[in-house]
Structure 1
Amino acid sequence: MTEPRKPIVEMPLRVRYHECDGQGIVFNANYLAYVDMAMFEVERALFGSHEAALARGVDVVVAESNLRYRAPCRYDDELVVAVFLNHLGTTSLIVDFEIIRGGDVCTEVKTRYVFVDPATLKKAAPPASVREEYAAFLPVQAD
């Protein structure tokens, strides 16, 4: 049995008018923008800022994203993007995002990131101190 997941961050946001399509619903690509914004909040929570993460010799790039739309979001909706660490590998991590409105999950996003050296942008294992920061948010497996 798995313990309830602990989010790394929960980022509030309000849907802006220009993020919606002609049907009045958030345009699908904007959900990835919300996720990207939330990952910068993760770096802020874990390392202080994106620049501080880079100074520790690590950056991440997106390798894959999968989205599941469960309910439409609209202009002026108040949302929360909850960020959960799903998996921490040697050179990658999988992050789950839940975009929530009023307690209901509207969109689920699963993104695989690859750790890269900030100077070369080549795949590289993160320093142990960075792994430890992320590992604190791995799901706990109960016996």
Structure 2
Amino acid sequence: MFKLEMRVRDYECDLQGVVNNSVYQNYLEHARHEFLLSKQVNFPELARQGIDLMVLRAEVDYKSPLRPHDDFYVTVDVEREGRIKIVFVQNIYHKEDDQLIIAARTYGAAIQNGRPMKGLKELDVLFDDEFTHSISM
């Protein structure tokens, strides 16, 4: 399980004093990119080769809000769905008490020339069962 620690910045909050719903997508995406980097998946190099890692669908359950200066962490795990889709199972937790803030599932695929790719070998490292990693930002 990958874990990325972060802190809410003031400008990410709306007039109600809580993190705006759209900002959570940024947190989730940033954690996915850091996860890929930690597994040595070279996202920019794949793009240069014409292989795009694309989000196909995002499911987000909002459980509790984050507020300015809250410390939190995002977890990332992966599952395969069929031969093409990768599911990023992500949760956001309040760091102080491990309260679940967001439960999300983001479905993605490798796309080349507008078509989904089967069995991209560069992504096999995502399914290494022995991998555990945590970083702070």
Superposition TM-score tier, normalisation by shorter sequence: 0.7 to 0.9
Is 1:59–2:19 an aligned residue pair? Answer: no
Is 1:38–2:26 an aligned residue pair? Answer: no
Question: Is residue 14–residue 20 contact of structure 2 (8 Å, CA) maintained in 1?
Answer: yes
Deviation at 1:53, TM superposition (A): 4.3
Q: Quickly say closer, same or farther: Cα 1:57–1:126, change in 2 above 3 A.
A: farther
Q: Once the two structures are superposed, what CA deviation does each residue of 1:24-69 show, in whole Å capped at 9, x if it has no partner?
A: 0100011111111111102201125422444677431111111111
Identical counterparts, % of pairs: 20
Is 1:108–2:103 an aligned residue pair? Answer: yes
Q: TM-score when scaled to structure 1?
A: 0.78
Distance in structure 1 (CA, Å) of the matches to 2:102 and 2:23: 11
1:67 maps to a residue whose letter is V
Secondary structure of 1:47's aligned partner: coil
Is 1:133–2:128 an aligned residue pair? Answer: no
Unaligned runs of 5+ in 1: 1-6, 139-143
Distance in structure 1 (CA, Å) of the matches to 2:69 and 2:91: 18
Is 1:70–2:63 an aligned residue pair? Answer: yes
Q: TM-score when scaled to structure 2?
A: 0.82
Question: Is residue 80–residue 99 contact of structure 1 (8 Å, CA) maintained in 2?
Answer: yes
Match of 1:91 in 2: 84
CA RMSD of aligned residues (A): 2.1
The count of corresponding residues between Structure 1 and Structure 2 is: 128
Question: Is residue 70–residue 107 contact of structure 1 (8 Å, CA) maintained in 2?
Answer: yes
Q: Once the two structures are superposed, what CA deviation does each residue of 1:103-134 show, in whole Å capped at 9, x if it has no partner?
A: 221111111112112xx343212433x24212
1:112 maps to a residue whose letter is Y
Q: Quickly say closer, same or farther: Cα 1:55–1:88, change in 2 above 3 A.
A: farther
- Higher percent of residues as strand: 2
Unaligned runs of 5+ in 2: 131-137
Secondary structure of 2:66's aligned partner: coil
Is 1:82–2:87 an aligned residue pair? Answer: no
